[in-house]
Amino acid sequence: MKILENYTRKLKILGMAESTQAQYLSAFNSFLEYFEGKDSRYISKNDILNYLESLYDLGVSKSYINSRINAIKFYYEKVLDNPRDTYFIDRPFKDRKLPTVLSIEEVDLILNAIPNFKHRCIIETIYCHGLRISEVINLKVLGIDSKRGLLYVRDGKFNKDRQVALDDECLHNLRRYYNQYKPENWLFNGQTKNGQYSATSIRKFLQKAVNQAGITKNVTPHTFRHSFATHLLEQGVDIRVIQEILGHASSKTTEIYTHVSTRYIGRVKLRHRMSA
């Protein structure tokens, strides 16, 4: 189908990650199937709102509907090059759920419950530098600049690169890891020397360690990124600096950690005196 070819070409030209391309294509294809037989160039705003309403009726999540909206807007605004102000859809509000955060003691318990040194280094690297799981598996040996004390994070979210200060203790363990495992390209290689480590495998060994440590919170690799940011905030690091370290495009994304930080919550205490 010519429409999908043009859509795919535009996704590639704009340098979107393969996973994002797949999500957009899947969402847009569902949209086309709903309007089967109708020229997509002439689908009206009211038609689209009816389509979105049908999704609400199916009881799908708000994030699911948002993904459809993004895919539709991409077609009309990027592929067809229509002006942005001529096409607008009210987006559903996102559920604002607070992130799960571990205490420093809980982080230590989990790390100590990981028997494999390589696995421990992976989780420690995520936590000490606030990385996403995709970023840790994309780390390369040459991305460790021990002389300058920097970790180079390549192809982060929205294909953004950034530099993060290397944690001294983590660097010490990474040196031990390097001498033991001798990685050549990817810092954390998979079953083969040239293969990347699997995100699924990370989640599996982490869950075992969480259970072993007796932690009842819902812990994922991303929990360590949340915990890293929260701990920095509690130590007095400016939120703008944390935003830069995490690679957030907007400070509003980073501000979520003020809702879970004891530094901020702990300030609000009711002063009262019980009557005798």
Residues serving a catalytic function are 132, 157, 222, 225, 248, 257
DSSP strand pairing (150-153 vs 144-145): antiparallel
Contact 134, 199 (CB under 8 A): yes
Distance, in Å, from the CA atom of 215 to the CA atom of 114, rounded to the nearest integer, reads 13
Distance, in Å, from the CA atom of 205 to the CA atom of 220, rounded to the nearest integer, reads 11
Alpha helices per DSSP H over the chain: 2-13, 18-34, 45-58, 62-73, 104-112, 117-129, 133-137, 168-181, 199-213, 221-234, 239-246, 251-254, 262-265
| Residue from 101, 138, 45 nearest 215 by CA | 101
Q: Residue 233: exposed, middle, or buried by beta-carbon count in 10 A (0-12, 13-18, 19+)?
A: buried
Contact 125, 141 (CB under 8 A): no
